[in-house]
Amino acid sequence: MLSRHFLRTKVLQSLYAYTVSGSGDLGVIEKNFIHNIERLNDLGVTQVSTLLYFFDVAKKSIEDAKTKFRPTKEEMSPNMRLVENRFALQLSNNYEFKKACERLKINWADYNNIFRNIYAGFKTTSVYKDYMEAESVDFKADKELVLSLYKYILNYEALADVFVERNLLWEDDYFQIAQYTYAGLKSMDENFSVDSPFQLPYDKRNEQEVQDCEFAIELLKKTILLFDKNTEVIKQNLKQWEYDRVAMMDIIILKMAITEFTNFPSIPEKVTINEYIELSIEYSTDKSKLFINGILDKMHVELRSQGLIKKSGRGLLDENFMDE
């Protein structure tokens, strides 16, 4: 499930592109934003598909070992526990997941050497050795092994580079979506079956996810519509800085914050301030945190005194924010 913080980062990136271009049709911008959110599901499915190809490589390696000129006793009678992992079999048999892989025409055959190296490396880990040497394993152990394997695969640098080669837009989101797909795998239990819904990073069947995405779309559109107006608000609160010398990313962050303060009555003011300070840390200059924090405090007080911040909803009515 995509967090609101992550969605705010996507809005920030869209607004940065809008600012650099200097123009853009609002309808087209909204359409592109929605497309970029939905394409994150493609990244998620592709990431999870690496598990299936890993097990294919593992099976092939075991079979190849049997045909060596002088196979060892262990190679002739291999421990099949890994390739018979019940959790992995559940995933590989799931209808929704298989259809998603087919739609994307995912094929890792050209990167077989990378997966063979991943297989060889994973076999040296204590996680693998403990799993294979255990007297017996249950479904929980199968699941924990696959989750550890998934982390190992997605942190393999050569494979991460392949994802970027496939789609440059995936570079910024690779590890964030990996966290969401990991959480999706972790939520699966023994009842996950062929017909179970496969959890995507952005799932339209989840009402809360749809609402969060609608929030992001509204934040994007309203920030653009109020772009010039919010420029004046910022200028009025810049006492020690010249507007034209403020980093573009800081200006966009401030404009998003003003829009959220004044147009989203259900979001607490403290949440807004904390979110945009965090965005400044992640996406702007080293000094931006202090700058954003100071300007947001000033603008917040000013907007409140002008009656432009009106909060409503449970926990927000009669909130004395400044006294906390």
Question: How many other C-beta atoms lie within 10 A of the C-beta of residue 304?
Answer: 16
Q: Are residues 90 and 150 in the same domain?
A: yes
Provide the phi-psi class of 72: left if phi over 0, else alpha when psi is between -120 and 50, else beta.
beta
Same domain (yes/no): 27, 137: yes
Average pLDDT of the segment spanning 286-313 = 88
Sequence-distant (6+) residues with CB within 8 A of 231 are 243, 251, 255
Instruction: Kindly report, residue by residue over 7-42, the tens digit of the pLDDT.
Output: 999 999 999 999 998 777 899 999 999 999 999 999
CATH number of the domain that residue 243 is part of: 1.10.940.10
The string of pLDDT tens digits covering residues 189-228 is 999 999 999 999 999 999 999 999 999 999 999 999 999 9
Alpha carbons 59 and 208: distance in angstroms, whole number: 40
Residue 82 forms part of a structural domain: yes
Q: How confident is the model at residue 101 (pLDDT cuts 50, 70, 90)?
A: very high
Distances (CA, A) of 83 to 78, 109, 121, 146, 171: 11, 18, 16, 11, 31
User: Nearest to residue 266, comparing CAs of 196, 197, 214?
Assistant: 214
Averaged pLDDT of the chain: 91
* Reported confidence tier of residue 239, pLDDT bands at 50, 70, 90: confident
The Cα 294–Cα 95 span in angstroms is: 52
Domain count, the chain: 2
- Residue from 180, 263, 41 nearest 255 by CA: 263
135 and 238 fall within a common domain: no
User: Same structural domain for residues 174 and 245?
Assistant: no
| Residue 233 Cα distances to 106, 245, 285, angstroms | 49, 16, 22
> What percentage of the chain has pLDDT greater than the value 70?
96
pTM higher than 0.85, yes or no?
Answer: yes
Q: How many CB atoms lie within 10 A of CB 284?
A: 20
> Which residues form the domain of 246?
226-323
Token pair for 319: 């909130």
